[in-house]
A and B are shown apart, each in its own frame.
Chain A
Amino acid sequence: MHFPPMNRRHLLQGSAALALSCVGFAPVAHGATMPATPELAGEEITLRIGQTTIQIDGRPARAVAINGSVPGPTLRLRQGQKLRITVINELTEDTSLHWHGLELPFQMDGVPGVSFPGIPALGRFTYEFAITQHGTYWYHSHSGLQEMMGCYGSIVIEPAAADPAPPAHDHVMVLSDHSFVHPAGILRKLKVDPGHYARYPQTLAGLIAGRDQPLKTRLEFAQMRMDPADISDVTGKVFRYLINGRGMADNFTAPITPGAPTRLRFINAGSMTFFNVRIPDLAMKVIAADGQPMVPVEVDEFQMGPGETYDVIITPQDRAYTVAAEAMDRSGMARATLTPRPGLIAPVPPLRAPVRLTMRDMGMDMDMSHGSGSMDMSMRSQANAPDVKLGPGVDMIAPMPVDRTGDPGLGLDKIGHRVLTYRDLVAPEQNPDPRAPQREIEMHLTGSMDRYLWSFDGVTMSEAHHPVTWTTGERLRITLINDTMMGHPIHLHGHIFELMTGHGDRSPRKHTVIVQPGGKVSFDVTAIEGDWPMHCHLFLHMAMGMMRVVKVRGA
């Protein structure tokens, strides 16, 4: 499956070539060989969660590992099988594992305080459920900020009926972000200095040199007390970006066969990072999103939020390729190499120009504002969101949020090649529940940039004593309106929903959806009994309170 570990000479050659490609990453030579991500299969699995130290480009970093590995073992399962997973907690604090995207009884969902009491220090818990789906999923800790320290792994479920023509290779690509600083320290820095990790601020020098935005735009943003250069809260200033736990110089490498299709399963396990994924000189055929099959669509790049997964098929030629997963704000990159022979590498593309927000990202689509005389165009009007608690935690209500499912994501609208949008995704078969929704629920994603507060409807999880309540079996339309200038990947536990993108009963099915800044997204969902968290998958946004428990009860 994997190549023999690279020897020191190969690594040095690789580093030299990397330096020549002018990305600005210092070559790091170190002798440590990195074991491949372990794999586990069968109906009985044991996972141990403990503290460890991992090496990122030769530098030690503290981590919370599963079976000693970051990412944790890949679980290779088959649709229809039963599964008993015993999780042993070797930490000195509570832990948990949540099976992200799996449809299972809610008490096996693994969220402390919602689905179960959690796994105490030195304790254990056995999860038991049947595997009903197939596709690419993942699992991660839902306790504290352990996910941010490496407590995640992938799940690959083969369909019950074996693929008659399997691809020549099938590789999991777990994208993540890791810091040499404890995540609680990162959160604290953001709390006391929200712009702490700003990587590419707009400057007066830039204005004079004619770079970045013109004065008029800067003043418009300053008038709103917003920073158009604030794309990501946490950036390459403190993160290293990883593929399968490997940094830029570690260079995770996987085999390909010229002319033969290879399946890549991308999982964004990043705690705070949207990734732009591309393989220069190679088209990617997207065949699944969030584990759900899609009508194949060929693209050159796609943006994925934390919590999302995409499966693509590539057909390489006889050469090496770089898998480039660039952080959305362009402050860093995760990189892997696909090669037909050990020792080959391909150029690493340089980081592209920093991204700036526009008025569209503030929920003010200037094009559409003409003739909207009755609309309240002010930036924080209760009239535009009657159910939002307009407190200190809400610095903006998007006056004109628009459906942005046809947008490729921040910074990817004018880059001259094909970028996936949600509207490109079409389910190959009729959706399992094509009923019209019986009612609609509007939820606002709210926040205050300068106070670093995040919430739904202006209310944090800690204040949300009025749970969202649905009825078992009812068909609902959930409309998420983003009243902030940041994208939020919203994940609903235990459900696969149909994203409203104009494809009727062939709507793409997902478990996590990015709501673009100043945008809105609707999905239809059939409620399954249980207590289910719904939250932003940017872990620090969730920690600040952008989370709800959805209580689904029998009629």
Chain B
Amino acid sequence: MAQMSLRERFWNRFTGKDVDMTPYGSTTTYGVVDLMDKCGYARPLADTDPVAMTELSYAGHEYGKFEWVKAMGWDIVGLSEAFGCKLGTPQKDIQYSIHGHPYADSIENIEFPSDYLERGRFPMFKEHFRLLKEKVGDDLVVFGETEGPFTCAANLVGTEQFMKWIYKKPENINTVLEVTREAAVAAENFAFDNGADYYVFAEPTAGPALLRNKFFEKHTQPILKQVVERAKGPVVLHICGNTDSIIDMMCDTGVAGISIEEKADMKRAVEIAHQKGVKVFGNVATATTLFNGTPEEVYQEATQALENDTDFLCPGCGIAPPTPLENLLQLKKARDDYFT
């Protein structure tokens, strides 16, 4: 098959049509120090400045050879931030994190503010989208990402308290989720209105590493389903850890794709997902292999992911800041060799 444009390759795979080869890129954050050094725009500026954020987005393609690019920064706190969560101070190799929970003491006044998209970094993201779209034109697929409604809810009241509410005040869980659901819908459609081709929700707090599957089924899945139904474009769901036991439930949220880590069984995930018309992103290990491993180990694991039929060859989670660029490039090398 003749070589496809990067956009065509991505979309064909995403929509189940033929491709010349499996697309390679990252559907999670890539605030990588090597990329910052290459493009000359580093965090913390690249967290708050639309030009710097855009340049680092593009550096993923230019230097990391990713075949699509990420908008909306290098952390997963965007929704919570706009609700007033206090954030930590980012450094070149440390991303934004949640430091304060605005509704820890009471959720009596919790509501979805009508000017939500004027809050946090959304106004900056708007300008960043404009610059990024100007830069990549129609050549590259662009995606936006924030935390999902469940992770956001835990951030608003404190994860520990949120988890105890499962037993102590189950009614509070839904009250908060109904508010964060509105934020998630606003954020995804904000991204689509500003040119995103797809949107990722990262739900690190909702996975089976923390909660029993029954809970996911009862609380998380219905909320995600509503968020996906109301989206103006396709949504991808990323959950960390070993997600083997919830792959079907992740797919049943109605998403177009799921993103999984190396702890999950890619082959089995693909079998389940494809029956439901869902694509799978992943799953080269970020901590052990990409950051810690040799280029040869990355190459081997990437080849393994391709053999396990991943639809999009990607890191399994957010890429660790000190990951060597040389290791990232092994993903592309493995993919190119696999399809020659």
Are chains A and B native binding partners rather than an unrelated pairing? no
